[in-house]
Amino acid sequence: MTSEPIAPSPYVPGAAPPPPEERRRRRRWPWFAALLLLPLAFVFLAQGLTVQVTPREATVNLSGGPYFPLADRYLVLPGTYTLRATAPGYEPYRQPLLVEAGSPPQVRLTLQPAAGEVTVAVQGVSGTALPDAEVELADGQILHADGGPLTLPAGPQALTVRAKDYEPQSLTLVVAGRGRAQTALVQLERRWAELTLATDPDGAEVWIDEEPAGRRTPTRLPVLPGPHTLEFKLDGYSSRRLAMLAAPRQDQTLEPLTLTPAPVQLRLTSAPAGAAVTLNGRPMGATPLTLALKPEAPYRLEVLKAGYGPKRLEGMAPARGTVTRDLVLEPELGELRLSFAPADATLRIDGTPAAEPGALFQLPARPVTIEVSKPGYVPFKRTIIPRPGFPQALEVSLLTIAEARRAAMKPTLTAADGQTLELLQGGAFTMGASRREPGRRANEVLRDIIVTRPFYLGTQEVTNAQFQRFDPKHRSGAFEGTTLEEPKYPVVSVRWLDAVRYCNWLSDQEGLPRVYTLEGDEVTGFDPDATGYRLPTEAEWAFAARMDVGGPPRRFPWGESRSPEANRQGNYADDTVRHLLARTIPGYLDGHLATAPVGTFKANGFGLFDLGGNVAEWINDFYGATEEVLGAEGQDPLGPGRGRYHVIRGSSWMHGQLVDLRLAFRDYGEDGRQDLGFRIARWFEPQEATP
């Protein structure tokens, strides 16, 4: 094979391009080719989709992507479409449709019928329309039957129909739907029963359950099921009542009732009114009064009023009707002569100002109230009954308020805890001790005191038994093996605050106003006007201890001598406790190692026990050493206004030294001791009432 050499082509410069028309033809041909290829590609990629809708007359619409209808089929590409279907009388359908490669080629759907219009006609007895009936749907919605047709979903619907005085009825209604109109007739059964009523005579007004029925016998009366009370009323006859029980739809015919004639009415009045009335000897009340008389029967009336003559009536009652009697009572008078002092006092008789003293009065023979009053005096008031034919006299002497208060004072009181309190009127005395008095201490400043407010003071110290009613847990303890716990021994080992709480508790037992105001463990107030129980003031204690009745002031509990003149004068530190206590009374014996039962030793002139000896006593006042002892005033002093410690007065079973045994001796403290107790006091009246 002979090879030929390849020779290059000769280059011809400046060759001309194709003309414009040629170039346009060359650009259009790819588009034509694409248009020819698209249908072929759609047919190649599409898949068939059959849509079957019930009812068959439904209109189907597909949107959202390319598709091609072929009779009852569609050629569609994979993707998301919106399928719509409509038909007259059905609810429209609209749902998204996802077409995927290989998805089922057929879609079946059934349109739901549209709601229907249902008219519920409710009838009662004898086909009577019940326009007020209510229809309750299964979801609880309540509709009125007379509100026009009800729009209800197609298919079975549960309904409950109700009407007043009828039994409710439940039913299932098949609604045709598709906008069609239906009528449902519902027949309700009555709940009531009918009563056939009759009386002899006819024409009685019928009442049921205390309300008028608007009917007269003979009649038929509808009543609802349940118990009822029937009443029949007719003028001139006694009413009749009847209890009965009605059952649903069970009519009854009651036996005719025979009405009996009513008693004759007697209307009785008197001048003046308020007179007592008896009928045939039986009390009937006071005028004005209406009485029932037995027809055609005799009766006897008696009318009485204090201060007036009696009225008596006898007669025969008519067969029926009303009898009226108006009586005028004649007054009966008694004679009363009144005199009173002071002469310028005001006299009132039954509230009406009357004449000067010494006048003679003619007063009705009934209770009459006599009042005599004058400012600054206790008013006099008494009710008397003047007696005809028996003249009376009354003399009145008014007391001033102070005189009346003094006269009303009880000499003794018994407290709720059983203690006895003596009334002390008070008076003027000197409190403290002279600088020349042996044993006198700096806190015993001499003061002139006046106790003007009468007060009550416990005759004995508060005992263990009494205090434990207030505080059952309290224990007085023991001293060197000797018990302090016996019930009749004075309570000891109590703080001042414990004694104050006991006083408030005792006030509460008797409903008296509290003297002390407490907040927790602190006394925040003291009411000098309160008449409840309290501790004695220092001035009161000193007056009661030192001022003997009918004699000079005492220096010691037993008198003026520097030591008891005989044994058993009081419970002090005696020879029996020399081995236990540093200072005792030489040669003295009282018979007790520690505390003694209250009231063991002789009382003082006021009837008060152990103001010296046995136990020392808590006092109400704050403690002050010198000029602060009584404050600026010497009349009914209450001591300093504030402080930490409180005054303690009186010697105890632990005291045997001369300085401690004096009645002027003052001590102070805050906490309890084995030889420290208390007694109670209270004012007779509030401070502002003291003259």
Same domain, 574 and 527: yes
Given 282, 306, 328, the domain boundary residue is 328
Q: Which amino acid, one-letter code, is at 467?
A: F
Report the alpha-carbon angle 224-229-234, nearest 5: 115
CATH classification of the domain holding 97 = 2.60.40.3070
Q: Which two tokens stand for residue 235?
A: 């003028």
Domain count, the chain: 6
Same domain, 137 and 237: no
Is 359 a residue whose pLDDT tops 80? no
Same domain, 221 and 268: no
CATH classification of the domain holding 324 = 2.60.40.1120
Q: Are 299 and 265 in contact (CB under 8 A)?
A: no
The highest-confidence range among 338-347, 509-518, 631-640, by mean pLDDT, is 509-518
Is 15 a residue whose pLDDT tops 70? no
Q: What is the secondary structure of 38-107 as a DSSP string?
A: HHHHHHHH-EEEEEEEESTT-EEEEESS-EEEETTEEEE-SEEEEEEEE-TTB--EEEEEEE-TT--SEE
pLDDT of residue 186: 86
CATH classification of the domain holding 199 = 2.60.40.10
pLDDT of residue 511: 94
Same domain, 206 and 88: no
Same domain, 521 and 650: yes
Same domain, 109 and 130: no
Q: What pTM value is reported for the model?
A: 0.48
Residue at 32 is within a domain: no
pLDDT of residue 147: 66
Q: Are 569 and 558 in contact (CB under 8 A)?
A: yes
pLDDT of residue 1: 45
Q: Which two tokens stand for residue 109?
A: 């759907």
Same domain, 531 and 669: yes
The highest-confidence range among 26-30, 97-101, 308-312, by mean pLDDT, is 308-312
**Which one, of 373, 336, 325, 381, lies nearest residue 358 by Cα?**
336
Average pLDDT over residues 445-461: 93
Q: Of the given ranges (71-80, 291-300, 445-454, 614-623), which has the lowest mean pLDDT?
A: 71-80
pLDDT tens, residue by residue, 365-417: 888 898 989 998 989 898 988 888 888 888 888 888 777 777 777 899 999 99
Q: How far apart are CA 352 and CA 614, in angstroms?
A: 63
pLDDT tens, residue by residue, 133-178: 888 888 888 888 776 788 888 889 888 988 888 889 888 988 887 8
pLDDT of residue 32: 59
Q: Are 675 and 616 in contact (CB under 8 A)?
A: yes
Q: Which residue has the tokens 């170039």?
A: 23
Q: Which two tokens stand for residue 598?
A: 């209250």
Q: Which residue has the tokens 């036996």?
A: 255
Same domain, 253 and 306: no
Q: Which residue has the tokens 């098949």?
A: 174
The highest-confidence range among 386-395, 453-462, 546-555, 560-569, by mean pLDDT, is 453-462
Q: Are 489 and 508 in contact (CB under 8 A)?
A: no
Same domain, 383 and 520: no
Annotate 66-82 with b (16+ C-beta within 10 A) or e (fewer).
Answer: ebeeeeeebbbbeeebe
Residue at 4 is within a domain: no
pLDDT of residue 687: 64
Which residues lie across from 159 on neighbouring strands? 137, 171
Q: Which two tokens stand for residue 523?
A: 């006394």
Q: What is the 3-state secondary structure (H, E, C) of 542-585?
A: HHHHHECCCCCECCECCECCCCCCCCCCCCCCCHHHCCCCCCCC
Which residues lie across from 150 on neighbouring strands? 118
Residue at 674 is within a domain: yes
Q: Are 587 and 568 in contact (CB under 8 A)?
A: no
Q: How far apart are CA 638 and CA 619, in angstroms?
A: 10
Is 33 a residue whose pLDDT tops 60? no
Model confidence at 30, pLDDT cuts 50, 70, 90, reads low
Same domain, 545 and 628: yes
Average pLDDT over residues 209-225: 92
Q: What distances in angstroms separate CA 533 from CA 368, 676, 683, one per listed residue?
A: 41, 19, 8
Residue at 156 is within a domain: no
pLDDT of residue 630: 45
| Residue 333: its H or E element | strand 333-341
Indicate the average pLDDT of the chain. 85
Is 217 a residue whose pLDDT tops 70? yes
pLDDT of residue 409: 77
pLDDT tens, residue by residue, 664-686: 999 999 999 999 999 999 998 77
Model confidence at 23, pLDDT cuts 50, 70, 90, reads low
Residue at 589 is within a domain: yes
Which domain covers residue 308, as residue numbers? 264-328
pLDDT tens, residue by residue, 631-665: 445 888 988 888 899 999 999 999 999 899 999 99
pLDDT of residue 87: 85
**Which position has the higher pLDDT, 394 or 13?**
394
Is 31 a residue whose pLDDT tops 90? no
Q: Which two tokens stand for residue 625?
A: 């050493």
pLDDT of residue 13: 53
Residue at 598 is within a domain: yes
Write down the H helix ranges in 374-422: 401-408
**Which position has the higher pLDDT, 577 or 37?**
577
Q: Burial, 549: exposed, middle or buried (Cβ in 10 Å; 0-12, 13-18, 19+)?
A: exposed
Average pLDDT over residues 332-355: 85
Residue 403 backbone phi and psi in degrees, to 5: -65, -40
Residue at 360 is within a domain: yes
Residue at 510 is within a domain: yes
pLDDT of residue 393: 87
Same domain, 532 and 606: yes
pLDDT tens, residue by residue, 614-624: 999 999 999 98
pLDDT of residue 131: 79
**Which position has the higher pLDDT, 483 or 74?**
483
Same domain, 481 and 619: yes
| Residue 24: its H or E element | helix 20-45
pLDDT of residue 292: 85
